[in-house]
Structure 1
Amino acid sequence: MMGPVLAACLLIILSTAWISQANGATCKKDGGVCTCNDQTKNVDCSSKGLTAIPSNIPTDTDRLELDYNKLSSLPSKAFHGLQSLTYLSLSYNELQTLPAGVFDELKNLETLWLEQNQLQTLPVGVFDHLVNLDKLYLRQNQLKSLPQGIFDHLTKLTILWLSYNELQRLPEGAFDFLEKLKMLQLTNNPWDCSCRDILYLSNWIREKKGTVSNIEAAECDGGTKAVLEITEEEAAEDCVYPNTTTAIPTTIITTLASSNDDDIPELPVPQENFQKFLGYQEPDHLPTQPQCLMSISGYLGLMMSLVLTSAAILYVIHFLKKA
């Protein structure tokens, strides 16, 4: 009767080993590229030349470091399943945009580093689910504008870095919900102090002066004057920026509507427009060489585990029949 017992134990051991391998393929100890600390739940994937985020990051990870890599884009579900994260660093990469919903499951995140990337815009609502965020670093990007309400849900934020971007203006009420904010960096942006839009920022700085640090250092484009010193007379223009949507003039619509089909010139349509029309979408990212190696290694390990597991099951059945 000891045969079936030993076989059952072997089956349990093999199953445990297979689960461990499947969940830990990211870590160096299992053939991955990242350094993992089981005690602190830290995963360090920084400075690995990664062009895509490694798969199978342990779901109980508390701190994930992906800085100093070559990430130029992120899949929308890059961090899904990582609800335990409190710290995420994506600084010093080549990110040009962020997909909508990429941070939606990170409700426990407290620190988010996005410094030194190539971000030009942010999707509407990209930070809405980060209700416990304390620090947000967006310094040294190429942000030209911010969506309305982009920070409205970050009511626990104490530190916000927006310096060294290309911001000329802020949407009305951009900081109104940041009641716990203690530090805000706004320097080295080309703030357009000739437009009426700047009055919101000027009045906000004047109101928060002494309670939020660093805000007085914000200067108008060219460094001619501090933003908080701008008056209504100086910011008298109602400016329209290039990224503002404007209506098509009715004269153009009338002309197009009255034209004969033979008079309408044939315009070339880029190939990518046909692809979009047909529903084609580029994949979120292509696997990197380390990921391919990890995938092959994981596949071979899985096959070996299945073979051994099957053998153990047959062994149990054999002894149960004998009994």
Structure 2
Amino acid sequence: MMGPVLAACLLIILSTAWISQANGATCKKDGGVCTCNDNTKSVDCSNIKLTAIPINIPADTDRLELQLNQISNLPSKAFHGLSKLTYLSLTQNKLQALPAGVFDHLVNLDKLRLDYNQLKYLPPKIFDSLTKLTWLTLDQNKLQSLPHGVFDKLTQLETLYLRDNQLRRVPEGAFDFLEKLKMLQLQSNPWDCSCRDILYLSNWIREKKGTVSNIEAAECDGGTKAVLDVTEEEAAEDCVYPNTTTAIPTTIITILASSNDDDIPELPVPQENFQKFLGYQEPDHLPTQPQCLMSISGYLGLMMSLVLTSAAILYVIHFLKKA
């Protein structure tokens, strides 16, 4: 009679494994890859070569660590359902962009780390829901500009790192709502001190000198002088910085203005630039390569579990017939 008992145990084990596989477990204790601590409500998925955000992160997670991975993009709903998060680290990944709305549900977030990535721009209002945020790191990226009002809702922010980017200016009023700011790192950016746009930042630094740490370290491009020392005479030019994501090519405007529809020639516009011109973004529902690989591995694991489960059932039936 030991045969059917062993087979039944095997069936239970395989069924449990199948359920874990089907649910896409995150924590190691459930067959996932991340270390979860029920007491501290923390999930540590750092330094495990992830290329995508794990699914089924526990909804009560307070601290989520995703640093030191190879994540290059985020679905817009990556953190939806994680409204209890107070700490999120995505530092040292390969992020090139942030989708609009990705942080909208993180209403209790206190610290957000996005440093050491490859971010080139930020969507407008990307941080608007993070009204409790006190710490934000964006240093060591490739930011070329900041959207107008991007920090306006961060009234509780105390620490902001923007050093080591490609910023030449900040929008008028960029820091006006950061009344609790204590630390701001602006150094190692190519601040353009020949344009009038720099005067807001220069005046703001002079006003906040002594109350906000480290702001005096901001230097004009080439290290010729400190930004706070720039005068109106020196910043005399009315510079225009083109928005490469929305600017319409002048050749297209000229042709459309002077031609009938039948006379408009086809222009050799690169596909990537045309997509930018149209404001095109990849739909959220299209799977990325890592997600496809995860789906394939999950499918194979499911099929294997079904095969083994079927074998165990046949084994049980065989012994029951003999009994």
1:289-319 superposed Cα distances (whole Å, 9 cap, x missing partner): 45654576579889999xxxxxxxxxxxxxx
Q: How many angstroms apart in 1 are the aligned matches of 2:261 and 2:143?
A: 42
Aligned to 2:78: 78
Aligned to 1:212: 212
Q: How many angstroms apart in 2 are the aligned matches of 1:102 and 1:57?
A: 15
Aligned to 1:140: 140
RMSD of aligned alpha carbons: 3.5
Q: How many angstroms apart in 2 are the aligned matches of 1:181 and 1:196?
A: 25
Aligned to 2:313: none
| CA drift at 1:252 | 8.1
Query: CA 1:81–1:17 in 2, change beyond 3 Å: closer, same or farther?
Result: farther
Query: CA 1:303–1:169 in 2, change beyond 3 Å: closer, same or farther?
Result: farther
Tell me, which stretches of 5 or more residues in structure 2 are unaligned? Answer: 1-15, 310-323
Which deviates the most, 289-298 or 234-243? 289-298
1:56-83 superposed Cα distances (whole Å, 9 cap, x missing partner): 0000000000011111100000000000
Q: How many angstroms apart in 2 are the aligned matches of 1:23 and 1:141?
A: 35
* TM-score, reference length from structure 2: 0.79
| Paired residue secondary structure (1:112) | strand
Matches within 5 A, 1:241-260: 241-243=241-243, 256-259=256-259
Q: How many angstroms apart in 1 are the aligned matches of 2:180 and 2:280?
A: 48
1:249-294 superposed Cα distances (whole Å, 9 cap, x missing partner): 7x985764444666543335666769x9999847253416456545
Q: How many angstroms apart in 1 are the aligned matches of 2:25 and 2:85?
A: 19
Query: CA 1:90–1:254 in 2, change beyond 3 Å: closer, same or farther?
Result: closer
Query: CA 1:300–1:126 in 2, change beyond 3 Å: closer, same or farther?
Result: farther
Aligned to 2:29: 29
| CA drift at 1:191 | 0.3
Aligned to 1:4: none
1:32-57 superposed Cα distances (whole Å, 9 cap, x missing partner): 11010111111000111111001000
Aligned to 1:106: 106
Instruction: Say if 1:167 and 1:190, in contact at 8 Å, map to a contact too.
Output: yes
1:217-256 superposed Cα distances (whole Å, 9 cap, x missing partner): 100000010000001011011101132777887x985764
Query: CA 1:42–1:261 in 2, change beyond 3 Å: closer, same or farther?
Result: closer
Q: What percent identity do the matched residue pairs reach?
A: 68
Q: How many angstroms apart in 2 are the aligned matches of 1:26 and 1:150?
A: 33
Instruction: Say if 2:115 and 2:138, in contact at 8 Å, map to a contact too.
Output: yes
Residue 288 of structure 2 is aligned to residue 285 of structure 1: yes
Aligned to 1:123: 123
Query: CA 1:39–1:20 in 2, change beyond 3 Å: closer, same or farther?
Result: farther
Query: CA 1:260–1:145 in 2, change beyond 3 Å: closer, same or farther?
Result: closer
Aligned to 1:197: 197
Q: How many angstroms apart in 2 are the aligned matches of 1:27 and 1:165?
A: 35
Aligned to 1:158: 158
Instruction: Say if 2:21 and 2:301, in contact at 8 Å, map to a contact too.
Output: no
Matches within 5 A, 1:297-308: none
Q: How many angstroms apart in 2 are the aligned matches of 1:277 and 1:143?
A: 19
Tell me, which stretches of 5 or more residues in structure 1 are unaligned? Answer: 1-15, 306-323
Q: How many angstroms apart in 2 are the aligned matches of 1:30 and 1:280?
A: 32
Query: CA 1:86–1:253 in 2, change beyond 3 Å: closer, same or farther?
Result: closer
Q: How many angstroms apart in 2 are the aligned matches of 1:177 and 1:234?
A: 28
Q: How many angstroms apart in 2 are the aligned matches of 1:132 and 1:210?
A: 25
Instruction: Say if 1:70 and 1:93, in contact at 8 Å, map to a contact too.
Output: yes
| Paired residue secondary structure (2:153) | coil
Aligned to 2:11: none
* TM-score, reference length from structure 1: 0.79
Instruction: Say if 1:182 and 1:213, in contact at 8 Å, map to a contact too.
Output: yes
Aligned to 2:60: 60
Q: How many angstroms apart in 1 are the aligned matches of 2:73 and 2:148?
A: 23
Amino acid at match of 1:199: L
Q: How many residues align?
A: 289
Instruction: Say if 2:118 and 2:141, in contact at 8 Å, map to a contact too.
Output: yes
Amino acid at match of 2:218: A
Aligned to 2:318: none
